[in-house]
A and B are shown apart, each in its own frame.
Chain A
Amino acid sequence: GAGVSQSPRYKVAKRGQDVALRCDPISGHVSLFWYQQALGQGPEFLTYFQNEAQLDKSGLPSDRFFAERPEGSVSTLKIQRTQQEDSAVYLCASSWGGLALYEQYFGPGTRLTVT
């Protein structure tokens, strides 16, 4: 079946704008993760969902970041009042099992540029 998809692939936002990034995980996958990857760095954990429950959001850098997965499938990462330091690639990953105990399948990412 289809892999993990993310949209948009590229987003340019002016500082102060709100953005919404979408992730469509593999159908039936229980776990969904969001990561932020700065240029030349490894992905940094943002938040984790098990079905519709957000079990961990300790990696969200500020209260301007909000994620949801209301029906346990599609997830949206929202960033309010974007700042230049939010510029990064945002990666979504899903896995069939619970917690971070299984192989994760990654989407292609959304490259966010805040000007």
Chain B
Amino acid sequence: SQQGEEDPQALSIQEGENATMNCSYKTSINNLQWYRQNSGRGLVHLILIRSNEREKHSGRLRVTLDTSKKSSSLLITASRAADTASYFCATDAGTGNQFYFGTGTSLTVIP
């Protein structure tokens, strides 16, 4: 079963705009990670944020984590057509032995 849910399920924006995706999860965690998947390809790690962190940046990516609300957001600034992909959040569900992905947000960036 999925541990997390992303919102929205699909997002379509113009190139240059910012894209925000949200993720909610159910149990306590050690860390939350965001991955990107281009159509028909494997997943690529984007960013990892630990449970004691509130915000993290990597290039055009900004991730926030609110453990009290069990939620995270991924912001992609100045989007490009190449950012078109599905984005997944994933958590370890506190145990460390398991790793659960959300349902994903499909992002389309229109050139």
Q: How far is the CB of B111 from chain A (nearest CB, A)?
A: 24
Indicate if B41 sits at the interface (CB-CB under 8 A). yes
* A-side contacts of B96, CB under 8 Å: 98-101
Q: How far is the CB of B54 from chain A (nearest CB, A)?
A: 18
A-B pairs under 8 A by CB, number? 67
| B residues in contact (CB < 8 Å) with A | 1-2, 30-31, 33, 35, 41-45, 48, 88, 90, 92, 95-104
How many positions in chain A have a CB within 8 Å of any CB in the partner chain? 27
Q: Is the CB of A100 within 8 A of B97?
A: yes
- Of the 9-residue stretches A12-20, A53-61, A64-72, A74-82, which lies at the interface with chain B? A53-61
* Chain B: CB-nearest residue to A43: B101
Q: Is the interface of A mostly helix, strand, loop or mixed?
A: loop
The answer to whether A25 has its CB under 8 Å from any CB of chain B is: no
